[in-house]
A and B are shown apart, each in its own frame.
Chain A
Amino acid sequence: MGWLANKEKRSFAIQLSLALILIAVSYIIVQNVRENLSAVGIRVDFGFLSGEAGFDVNESLIAYSAADSYGRVLLVGLLNTLELSVLCIFGSTLVGVVMGIVRAGNNWLGSRLALAYVELFRNLPKLLILLAVFVVMVNQLPVVRHAWDLSGGIYISNRAMYFPVLIWADGMSFLLLGILAWVPAVFFWGRYVSRHQDLTGKRLPVAWPVAGSFLFIVFFVSVLFGIPYQFSIPVLERFDFVGGGRLSVQFVALAVTLSIYHGGQITELVRGGIQSVSASQIEAANALGLRQGQITRLVLLPQALRMIIPPMGNQYLNLVKNTSIGLAIGYSDLVSVMSTSINQTFRPIELMSITMMTYLAISLVVTALLNWFNARTRIIGN
Chain B
Amino acid sequence: MRRVVVLVLVAFVLSFASATLVMAGSVLDEIKSSEKIICLVNPNSPGFSTPDSKGVFQGFNTDFCRMAGAAILGDAGKADIRGIGFSDSMKTLVARKAHMASRSITNTGTRDADPGLAFVVTTFYDGQGFMVANDLGVKSATELNGATVCAEEGSTTLLNIADWFGNRKMTYKVENIGDKTARLQAFYAGKCDVLASDYTALLSDRQLAPNPAGYSILPEIISNEPLTLVAQPDQDLEAILFWGFQVMLTAEKYGITSQNVDSIVKDLSNQPKSVKRLLGEKSAVGDMAEKLQIPSGWAYNIIKQVGNYGEVFERHLGENTAFKLERKGTPNDLSSRGGLMYAYPIR
A and B: interacting chains: yes
- Chain A interface (Cβ within 8 Å of chain B)? 11, 14-15, 18-19, 21-22, 25-26, 28-29, 32-33, 35-36, 39-42, 54-58, 66-67, 131, 134-135, 138-139, 143-144, 158-159, 237-240, 242, 249-250, 327-330, 332, 336, 339-340, 342-346, 348
Report how far A18 CA is from B113 CA in the complex, Å: 44
Chain B proximity of A261: nearest CB distance (Å)? 17
Q: Residues of B within 8 Å of A, CB-based: how many? A: 59
What's the dominant secondary structure at chain A's contact region? helix
11 residue pairs of the A-B complex, CB under 8 angstroms, read A22-B4, A25-B15, A35-B22, A40-B115, A56-B173, A66-B159, A131-B182, A159-B191, A159-B192, A340-B153, A340-B158
Sample of 16 more A-B contacts, CB < 8 Å, known A131-B182, A348-B91: A18-B4, A18-B5, A25-B11, A40-B115, A40-B116, A56-B158, A56-B161, A56-B176, A139-B189, A238-B146, A327-B153, A330-B186, A336-B153, A343-B154, A346-B114, A346-B116
Residue on A with the closest CB to B113?
A346
How near does chain B come to A38, taking the closest CB pair, in angstroms? Answer: 10
On whether the beta carbons of B179 and A339 are closer than 8 Å, the reply is no
B190 touches A158 (CB 8 A): yes
Pick from B116, B163, B185, B191 the residue with the most CB of A within 10 Å.
B191
Q: What's the least CB distance linking A145 to chain B, in Å?
A: 8
Among A21, A36, A39, A250, contact of B8 (Cβ-Cβ < 8 Å): A21
CA distance A342 to B91 in the complex (A): 9
Chain A neighbourhood of B173, CB < 8 A = 56, 58, 240
Distance in angstroms from A57 CB to nearest chain B CB is: 7
Interface residues of B in 132-157 (CB under 8 A from A): 144-148, 150, 153-156
Q: Does B34 contact A (CB under 8 A)?
A: no
Q: Closest B-chain residue to A55, C-beta based?
A: B158
From A28, A55, A240, contact of B162 by CB (8 A): A55
From A19, A58, A131, A327, give the contact of B175 (CB < 8 A): A58
A25, B15: Cα distance in complex, Å: 8
B186 neighbours in A (Cβ, 8 Å) = 138, 330
Given A25-B11, A239-B148, A340-B158; A348-B94 close (CB under 8 Å): yes
Across-interface contacts of A15 in B (CB, < 8 A):
1, 4
B111 to A, closest residue via Cβ: A346
A343–B8 alpha-carbon span in the complex (Å): 35
| Chain A proximity mask over B12-49: 1 for CB below 8 Å, otherwise 0 | 10110011011000000000000000000000000000
Inter-chain CA distance A265–B189, complex, in Å, is 33
A330 to B12, CA, bound (A): 39
Binary interface profile of B, 73-92, with partner A (CB < 8 Å = 1, else 0)?
00000000000001100110
Q: Please report the number of residue pairs spanning A and B whose Cβ atoms sit closer than 8 angstroms.
A: 162
Q: Which residues on A sit within 8 Å (CB–CB) of B159? A: 54-55, 66, 344
Give min CB distance, A97 to chain B, whole Å.
Answer: 31
Known: A18-B5, A240-B146, A343-B155. A57 touches B15 (CB 8 A): no
CA distance A346 to B116 in the complex (A): 9
Could you tell me if A240 and B147 are in contact, using CB atoms closer than 8 angstroms?
Answer: yes
CB distance from A218 to the nearest CB of B (A): 35
Q: Which residues of A contact B163 (CB under 8 A)?
A: 54, 66
Contact B146 A239 (CB under 8 A): yes
B346 close to chain A: CB less than 8 A = no
Q: Is the CB of A340 within 8 A of B176?
A: yes
Smallest Cβ distance from B297 to chain A, in angstroms?
34
B22, A135: Cβ atoms closer than 8 Å: no
A239 in contact with B153 (CB, 8 Å): no
Contact partners of A336 in chain B: CB under 8 A: 153, 176, 178
Q: List A contacts of B147 (CB < 8 A).
A: 239-240
Assess whether B7 is interfacial by the CB under 8 Å rule: yes
A40, A239, A327 — which one has the most chain B CB atoms within 10 A of its CB? A239
Chain A residues with Cβ below 8 Å from B182 are 131, 134-135, 328-330
Residues of B within 8 A of A239 (CB): 144-148, 193
Cβ contact within 8 Å between A237 and B146: yes
Minimum distance in angstroms from B89 CB to a CB of chain A = 10
Whether B208 sits at the interface, judged by CB under 8 Å, is no
